[in-house]
Amino acid sequence: MDTARDTETPATRATSIYERLKSDILDTRLEPGRKLQLRFLIEHYDAGQTPLREALNRLTTEDLVVGKEQRGFFVKPVSLEELRELTKTRRWVEGLALKESMANATTEWEEAILVAHHRLDRTPRSLDPERFESNPEWERLHKALHVLLISNCGSRHLVGFCQQLAERLQRYRALSSRKAFRVRDVAQEHSDIVKAVMQRDVDEAVRLLECHYDKTADVILEDLEVDPGIMPARADAVSA
């Protein structure tokens, strides 16, 4: 049930619970739509009501938790509709951010990308070469590369928004069972994007990045069509 990070500074109780809760929601250990009862949370997270309540309230603003007045908290439901909308939005906004990043390109930035890509490239996608088992280190480096690509755009707000979109999409990836393992050469896609960035070919880089996100969504959508019932077409009821 834990999410790692025991050695770090606990900072404040509310913050550490917030992080654990967020992580559990994003990795769908807490299923979409599930009711978050205080009793249950107090039990499983070994915490008091106040820090729990504060964490829940923070997540409410991030739209990862939905708070119905006087009726408690629920994990935000998922829907195919939202998956499509998130992907579309991410394409637009990250495309924009990458374009601006490249317009402001500096040597340091390009070198940092090269390094980040290299690190990702030499890290195995899966802990088990036979069947897929998520490698936290790969996930971390993958995220780092994508953030770096857009981080030179000159707007922390825009970068923050992109990260929020990525977080929200994380649940859909976690829900997808085979996770594009072997089906897709993700490493090649990353190499191509980085190459275009190095060549300062803005249009090509943006095109490849958009394509990258499209493919991710497509694989998830296929997966969910094969195994429907996991996800409603549109968000509605709550499976308590």
Residues in touch with DNA (CB under 7 A):
12-14, 35-39, 47-51, 53-54, 67, 69-73
Q: Name 126's bridge partners.
A: 134
Residue 62 CB, shortest distance to its own copies, in Å, is 6
What 3-state class would DSSP assign to 36?
Answer: strand
35 binds, among its own copies, DNA, none (CB under 5 to 8 A by kind): DNA
CB-wise, 50 or 199, nearer to DNA? 50
Q: Return the C-alpha torsion angle 164, 165, 168, 174, nearest 10.
A: -120
Residue 148 CB, shortest distance to DNA, in Å, is 32
93 binds, among its own copies, DNA, none (CB under 5 to 8 A by kind): its own copies
CB-wise, 82 or 223, nearer to its own copies? 82
Residue 67 CB, shortest distance to DNA, in Å, is 6
Q: In what order do the strands lie in the sheet with 72-75?
A: 35-36, 72-75, 65-68
Alpha helices of 125-199 — where are they, by DSSP H? Answer: 136-150, 156-175, 186-198
- Write out the two tokens for 87: 């992907």
Residue 52 CB, shortest distance to DNA, in Å, is 8
Q: Using an 8 Å Cβ cutoff, are 94 and 211 in contact?
A: no
CB-wise, 58 or 178, nearer to DNA? 58
Residue 135 CB, shortest distance to DNA, in Å, is 32
CB-wise, 69 or 130, nearer to DNA? 69
72 binds, among its own copies, DNA, none (CB under 5 to 8 A by kind): DNA
Interacting residues toward its own copies by CB under 8 A: 11-12, 14-15, 50, 53-55, 57-62, 69-70, 85-86, 88-89, 92-93, 96, 100, 154-158, 161, 165, 168
What 3-state class would DSSP assign to 236?
Answer: coil
CA distances from 79 to 24, 30, 63, 174, 217 (A): 19, 16, 14, 14, 13
Nearest-angstrom CA–CA distance, 226 and 240 = 25
CB-wise, 37 or 199, nearer to DNA? 37
Residue 8 CB, shortest distance to DNA, in Å, is 14
Q: Using an 8 Å Cβ cutoff, are 65 and 114 in contact?
A: no
Question: In terms of C-beta density within 10 A (0-12 exposed, 13-18 middle, 19 or more buried), how is residue 150 classed?
Answer: buried
CB-wise, 192 or 214, nearer to its own copies? 214
